[in-house]
């Protein structure tokens, strides 16, 4: 395990992050406490120090487990959690139980601190943008938490690129704490973030924290046939099945597992990419960690690039075209060194 700086900060985190949405059986497909602890300990034994959870994962069980597992060496670990979503059982008539507001933020952080049994959160994510809360309210609320010492760093998850860019500009204008990362779904088959979120993150030097590297396990090929194993995905599309077949065949030629191949395609994308691993079994974690032992060559990356038949949308596909670049730069674009 190697370490990376978390975006524009001095915080050193392991090059892989352990996702803990599977810690707890509350949702019907997670790991029990004993298995969760074994997964955590194996990750830590391999040098992992970056742990990802959320206030709502397995109805709060994930945070409670993580709090117990890190307690003996709290300062060793970088613990990230999230606010925005309601924790079940939730009162559907309570209008402020979820969302991005300061009220939701402060209540969620206080409850997360209790469940994690800690005095501070290393990283707080806004979990999902609610399209109702002013960006300034979010930033000022986060800044107050950071100044109080209850939160050290802040990032966005599942939020439009324009919101994050606006937040960075507003934070700079007012001297508030700036976001330093963005958590997004990203995989060989799910590349829509390449249209806007990824270019924005790279431009601002944000940490890029992809989840869903394996599309819920479908890219490993394990759901190609019906089975009784608990699963998050209820059905598999023809496109997902075909993508899994391509990855399985490539993995066989490389002597690697499909999970390792799919994970490395994400790891090798440009930018400060720190993937989040999700697993229910120690064996799955061990398999995923094997991605650290090799890199995909250009031919393998090209094969994977073509799986989804992905094409950039407007405006990037238009602006990156050779025609437009010639209109702007003439024949000098290739001669320009852009740092």
Q: What is the pLDDT along the chain (339 residues), one digit of tens a residue?
A: 999 999 999 999 999 999 999 999 999 999 999 999 999 999 999 999 999 999 999 999 999 999 999 999 999 999 999 999 998 776 788 999 999 999 999 999 999 999 999 999 999 999 999 999 999 999 999 999 999 999 999 999 999 999 999 999 999 999 999 999 999 999 999 999 999 999 999 999 999 999 999 998 999 988 766 555 655 555 788 888 889 999 999 999 999 999 999 999 999 999 999 999 999 999 999 999 999 999 999 999 999 999 988 899 999 999 999 999 999 999 999 999 976
Contact 286, 292 (CB under 8 A): no
Are the beta carbons of 51 and 80 closer than 8 angstroms? yes
Q: Is the same domain home to 322 and 298?
A: no
Collapsed DSSP state (helix, strand, coil) of residue 333: helix
Residue 99 DSSP class: S
27 and 159, same domain (yes or no): yes
Paired strand residues for 273: 208
Closest CA to 260 of 298, 219, 231: 219
* Count of structural domains within the chain: 2
Q: Which residues pair with 151 in a beta bridge?
A: 121
pLDDT of residue 321: 95
* One domain, residues 184 and 104: yes
- Joined together, the tokens standing for residue 253 give 């030629």
Count of Cβ atoms closer than 10 Å to residue 91 Cβ: 8
| Same domain as 320, residue 202 | no
The structure tokens 């976001």 sit at 179
Residue 334's domain comprises 310-339
Report yes or no: 50 and 209 within 8 Å, Cβ to Cβ: no
pLDDT digits (tens, 9 = 90+) for 286-300: 999 999 999 999 999
Single pTM value for the model? 0.93
Report phi then psi at 160, rounded to 5: -60, 150
Same domain, 67 and 211: yes
For the record, the structure tokens of 109 come out as 């952080």
CA distances to 29, 154, 278 from 52, rounded to whole Å, are 18, 13, 10
Write the CA distances from 134 to 102, 130, 177, 245, 302, integer angstroms: 10, 10, 16, 45, 41
- Tokens at 84, concatenated: 């925005």
- Residues marked active site are found at 57
Which among 45, 209, 56 has a CA at the least distance from the CA of 64?
Answer: 56
User: What's the rounded Cα separation, in Å, for the pair 333 and 339?
Assistant: 14
- 276 and 224 in a single domain? The answer is yes
Residue 303 shares a structural domain with residue 328: no
Same domain, 170 and 153: yes
Shared-domain flag, residues 213 and 314: no
Residue pLDDT, tens place only, 254-292: 999 999 999 999 999 999 999 999 999 999 999 999 999
Residue 200 sits in the same domain as residue 328 = no
Helix (H, G, I), strand (E, B) or coil at 65: helix
Residues 122, 229: one domain?
yes
Query: Which CATH number goes with the domain that contains 162?
Result: 3.20.20.100
Kindly state whether residues 270 and 241 are assigned to the same domain: yes
Q: How many other C-beta atoms are found inside a 10 Å radius of the C-beta of residue 48?
A: 23
* Extended strands (E) in the chain: 3-5, 12-14, 17-19, 50-52, 78-83, 121-126, 151-157, 181-185, 207-211, 272-273, 276-277
Tokens of 299: 């031919």
């Amino acid at each position: 395990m190697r370490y990376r700086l978390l975006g524009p900060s001095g915080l050193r985190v392991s090059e892989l992050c352990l996702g803990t949405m599977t810690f707890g059986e509350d949702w019907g497909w997670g790991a029990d406490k004993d298995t969760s602890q074994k997964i955590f300990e194996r990750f830590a034994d391999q040098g992992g120090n970056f742990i990802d959870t959320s206030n709502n994962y397995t109805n709060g069980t994930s945070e409670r487990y993580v709090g117990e597992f890190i307690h003996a060496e709290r300062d060793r670990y970088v613990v990230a959690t999230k606010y925005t979503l309601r924790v079940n059982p939730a009162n559907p008539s309570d209008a402020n139980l979820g969302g991005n507001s300061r009220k939701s933020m402060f209540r969620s952080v206080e409850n997360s601190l209790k469940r994690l049994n800690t005095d501070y959160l290393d990283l707080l994510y806004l979990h999902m943008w609610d399209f109702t809360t002013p960006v300034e309210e979010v930033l000022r609320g986060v800044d107050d938490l950071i100044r109080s010492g209850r939160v050290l760093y802040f990032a966005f998850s599942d939020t439009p690129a324009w919101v994050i860019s606006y937040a960075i500009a507003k934070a700079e204008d007012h001297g508030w704490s700036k976001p330093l990362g963005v958590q997004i779904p990203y995989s060989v088959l799910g590349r829509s973030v390449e249209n806007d979120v990824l270019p924005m993150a790279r431009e601002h030097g944000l940490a890029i924290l992809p989840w869903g590297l394996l599309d819920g396990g479908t890219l490993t090929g394990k759901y190609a046939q019906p089975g009784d194993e608990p699963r998050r995905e209820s059905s598999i599309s023809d496109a997902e099945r075909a993508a899994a077949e391509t990855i399985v065949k490539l993995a066989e030629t490389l002597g690697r597992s499909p999970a390792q191949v799919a994970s490395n395609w994400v790891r090798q994308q440009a930018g400060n990419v720190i993937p989040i691993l999700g697993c229910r079994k120690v064996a799955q974690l061990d398999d995923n960690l094997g991605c650290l032992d090799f890199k995909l060559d250009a031919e393998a990356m090209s094969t994977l690039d073509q799986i989804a038949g992905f094409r950039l949308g407007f405006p990037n596909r238009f602006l990156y075209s050779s025609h437009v670049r010639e209109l702007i730069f003439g024949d000098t674009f290739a001669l320009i060194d852009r740092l």
